[in-house]
Amino acid sequence: MTAETWLVALAVAVLLVWLALARANRIDLLHQKVTRTAATLDAQLLRRAALSAELAVSGELDPASGLLVADAANACLAEAREDVEADLALRSGSGGRRRPPALPGRVTLTEDRETVESDLSRVLRQAMGEVGDDGVAASAGEGTLAGDLVATWRRVTLARRFYNEAVAQAVRVRSQPISRLLRLAGRARMPRMFEMDDTLP
């Protein structure tokens, strides 16, 4: 081989390595985006559950509806706590050695969390819809507890949409043949969509 052939081969190899590194960096950035949007969604879900629990004891709902809303809100808060504990358990290494978290504050949004959040949506819609024009639904203006809950609920819907778009982008890039062949995502878990009933009342 001539020197020119070696230079061309070297240039092609460098280009391929650079493209692979660029793709790996893109996957890493997409995973960071998923993590950020998951944290935002988690914060909005927690705020919605807290406001729901507050509404349940505020006296604005009838006692039966208040009890159902309180139970659903407490289930959401308990499931969020379990998700954090499960994530901490996953981060612990084998042999009793503990690994440092790869991403501080990482949020795990599980199928169980989807279920309890959907249940809270249904219970809230029923409780707020039953009151109708005479109570919560009518008084759901800004500055009221019901108004804050509805505003937070809207933010949940937007946060979930942004999170699912970030997941779709990450899955699309990770599913490309070159990404799978070179294992550019490393050992990172494949992100998953968060599907819940978040229809507003």
Q: Is a pLDDT exceeding 80 seen at residue 143?
A: no
Average pLDDT of the residues of the chain: 85
Contact 55, 151 (CB under 8 A): no
Pairwise pLDDT comparison (1 vs 169), residue with the higher score: 169
pLDDT band at 46 (very low <50, low <70, confident <90, very high): very high
Between CA 98 and CA 76 the distance in angstroms is 28
Q: Is a pLDDT exceeding 60 seen at residue 107?
A: yes
User: Which residues lie below 8 Å from residue 102, measured CB to CB, with a gap of 6+?
Assistant: 91
95 sits in the region (left: phi over 0; alpha: psi -120 to 50; else beta) called: left
* pTM of the entire predicted model: 0.81
What tokens does 26 get?
């893109």
SS (H, E, C) 98-160: ECCCCCCCCCCCCHHHHHHHHHHHHHHHHHHHHHHHHCCCCCCCCCCHHHHHHHHHHHHHHHH
The percent of residues in the chain predicted with pLDDT above 90, rounded, is 59
